[in-house]
């Protein structure tokens, strides 16, 4: 329970057939690609994995498949959030049963908690269903609408959730992030979740990070980390800027649907997104491909530091 998650942890896309049903057969290929790229974990059924658009049974199937086929060094963290506490507990218990490395949850997003105490109550009940697994709260206020101080969550959660391991922190509030990192001398594992400002998090002390673009740009982020570790901030900034350019194109072309579509450009078509998200048209996909090709992606990616500035 004390083993911290470190390094790059990808948030995989949930692979689907053209009709929107699950494509479980692609998961092994996804897992092997991540392992080959030096990714240390897979945070499944989260935002990128469209977890809240899947049925509970589908999420169980996805989790079972990931745990079964993931290489030994690729830790599988199962996102178990649900607006129904009973369903969340079921998913948590299942994750422990199949041998996942950890679980995580956002707070309920329809009847949202209005206080840290209410959020901790909900999380404690979820974590209790998998007492043998590290539990992470998934902080992503832009999606959940839950804007509560995370350092206070750690303060209260540490007394109420025995298996609390940390937070998946997906927010631009770097002051709050550092408060969490430094809480009780770094007691908790705070995973950073904004790919586009990873370098800023490294400067504050990040050692573990979760991101969607790690699915296809992990080698680039390794270069950001390696350059930062070596003290070459100029190179680290340049590598980070390369990632920002790709992310900016992805956002301009639709966000998550475009992000998922990019997987087909690296030979791993993860299929469509589910409603209410909208898939790219053929014309939109070609425009996305053309914009990425101007940066040499994916055939010549990553470029050398200084290229394409």
For 269, half-sphere exposure in the C-beta direction (CA atoms, 13 angstrom radius) is 6
> What is the C-alpha separation between 191 and 202, in angstroms, rounded?
11
pLDDT tens, position by position, for the chain (309 residues)?
558 999 999 999 999 999 999 999 999 999 999 999 999 999 999 999 999 999 999 999 999 999 999 999 999 999 999 999 999 999 999 999 999 999 999 999 999 999 999 999 999 999 999 999 999 999 999 999 999 999 999 999 999 999 999 999 999 999 999 999 999 999 999 999 999 999 999 999 999 999 999 999 999 999 999 999 999 999 999 999 999 999 999 999 999 999 999 999 999 999 999 999 999 999 999 999 999 999 988 876 665 544 434
Instruction: Check 75, 137, 168, 177 and give the catalytic one.
Output: 168
How high is the pLDDT of residue 309?
Answer: 42
168 is catalytic: yes
Residue in 125, 129, 128 with CA at minimum distance from that of residue 107:
125
pLDDT digits (tens, 9 = 90+) for 162-185: 999 999 999 999 999 999 999 999
Domains within the chain, CATH numbers bracketed: 7-230 (3.20.20.70)
To which residue do tokens 């048209």 refer? 281
**Does residue 138 carry a catalytic annotation?**
yes
Instruction: Determine the pLDDT at residue 299.
Output: 75
Catalytically annotated residue among 138, 177, 214, 216: 138
Which whole-number Å values give the CA distances from 84 to 58, 100, 132, 187, 233, in the listed order? 16, 21, 22, 30, 46
pLDDT digits 0-9 by tens, 40-82: 999 999 999 999 999 999 999 999 999 999 999 999 999 999 9
Q: How far apart are the first and last CA of the chain?
A: 44
């Amino acid at each position: 329970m004390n083993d911290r998650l470190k390094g790059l942890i990808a948030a995989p896309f949930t692979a689907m057939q053209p009709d929107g049903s699950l494509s479980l057969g692609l998961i092994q290929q996804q897992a092997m690609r991540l392992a080959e790229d030096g990714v240390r974990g897979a945070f499944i059924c989260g935002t990128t994995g469209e977890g809240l658009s899947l049925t509970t049974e589908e999420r169980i199937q996805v989790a079972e498949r990931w745990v079964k086929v993931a290489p030994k060094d690729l830790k599988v963290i199962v996102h178990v959030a649900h607006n129904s506490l009973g369903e969340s507990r079921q998913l948590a218990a299942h994750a422990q049963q199949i041998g996942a490395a950890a679980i995580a949850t956002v707070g309920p997003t329809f009847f949202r908690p209005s206080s840290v105490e209410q959020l901790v109550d909900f999380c404690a009940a979820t974590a209790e269903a998998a007492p043998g697994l590290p539990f992470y709260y998934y902080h992503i206020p832009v999606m959940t609408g839950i804007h509560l101080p995370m350092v206070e969550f750690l303060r209260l959660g540490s007394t109420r959730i025995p298996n609390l391991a940390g937070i998946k922190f997906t927010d631009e509030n770097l002051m709050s992030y550092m408060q969490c990192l430094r809480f009780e001398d770094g007691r908790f594992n705070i995973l950073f979740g904004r790919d586009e400002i990873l370098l800023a998090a490294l400067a504050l002390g990040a050692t573990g990070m979760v991101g969607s673009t790690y699915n296809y740009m992990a080698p680039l982020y390794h270069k950001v980390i390696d350059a930062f570790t070596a003290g070459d901030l100029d190179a680290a900034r340049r590598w980070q800027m390369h990632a920002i350019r790709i992310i900016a194109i992805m956002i301009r072309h639709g966000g998550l649907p475009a992000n998922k579509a990019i997987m087909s450009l690296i030979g791993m078509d993860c299929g469509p997104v589910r409603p209410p998200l909208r898939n790219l048209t053929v014309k939109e996909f070609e425009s996305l491909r053309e914009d990425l090709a101007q940066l040499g992606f994916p055939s010549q990616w990553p470029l050398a530091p200084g290229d394409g500035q």
